[in-house]
A and B are shown apart, each in its own frame.
Chain A
Amino acid sequence: MKNRIKIERAILDITQEDLSHKIGVSRQTINSIEKNRYVPSTVLALKLSEVFNKPVNEIFELEPND
């Protein structure tokens, strides 16, 4: 699964730390999601979608091998 969190963060001009505070997780968790090491739960994905004001499937995208 690919994600656009880094790009969306750049658009809003917020750091991993800022984003982590907004959705109530640690900075390392945001980093793991950005680096595709961790697939977040639906709840976390919806929180991200709320922060970025975009639907979840615009932030996360399935890859052929998923």
Chain B
Amino acid sequence: MNFTNFCQAEYRRLKKIQNYQYLLPNYYKKVGISLLILSLITLITRKYLIEDGELIRQIAKKGMLLSLLLITISKEKIEDELIIKLRGQAFAFAFVAGVIYTLIQPLINYLVALVIRPEKAVFNGLDDFIILWFMLVMYLTFFYLFKRYR
């Protein structure tokens, strides 16, 4: 394979990825909402009723992320070009908000801890669940706001 052919093959592969229809059918939104409710119930139940349920907590947290992802990548009832545009804008906003949040939130946590309990103030990063949860929730918030005021 010469260089031109290689470049053409790479270009075709890139176009295939670019045009890949990653969205799930609309009914996955209901699946996502059901899973989200189930995860929330599990988390609340574990907190108040189960003494040592770290494994349950971890599973419920993963379930919550999965459910938000399902809601995020499932199609609207009518997925037209305006919705596709709004989806892109919401992804961009959520991504930027996620990065800013990840950079600023640990600092705020630290400063607040310094004021309230200086002896226990430590500078920690955010855990992956919080970051992903924040980005998914921001995406959904922006998307439904944009959709409402389209």
Identify the A interface with B (CB < 8 A).
Answer: 20, 24-26, 28-29, 32, 37-38, 40-41, 43-44
**What residues of chain B have their CB less than 8 Å away from a CB belonging to chain A?**
76-78, 80-83, 85, 150
What is the total of A-B residue contacts with beta carbons within 8 Å?
A: 29
B80 touches A38 (CB 8 A): no
Distance of A38 from chain B, by nearest CB (Å): 6
B-side binding surface: helix, strand, loop or mixed? loop
What residues on B are CB-neighbors of A20 within 8 Å? 78
User: How far apart sit A31 and B82, CA to CA, in the bound complex (Å)?
Assistant: 11
* Smallest CB separation, A32 vs chain B (Å): 5
The reply to whether A38 and B78 form a contact with Cβ atoms under 8 Å apart is no
A-B contact pairs, 8 of them (CB 8 A): A26-B82, A26-B83, A28-B82, A37-B150, A38-B85, A38-B150, A40-B81, A44-B81
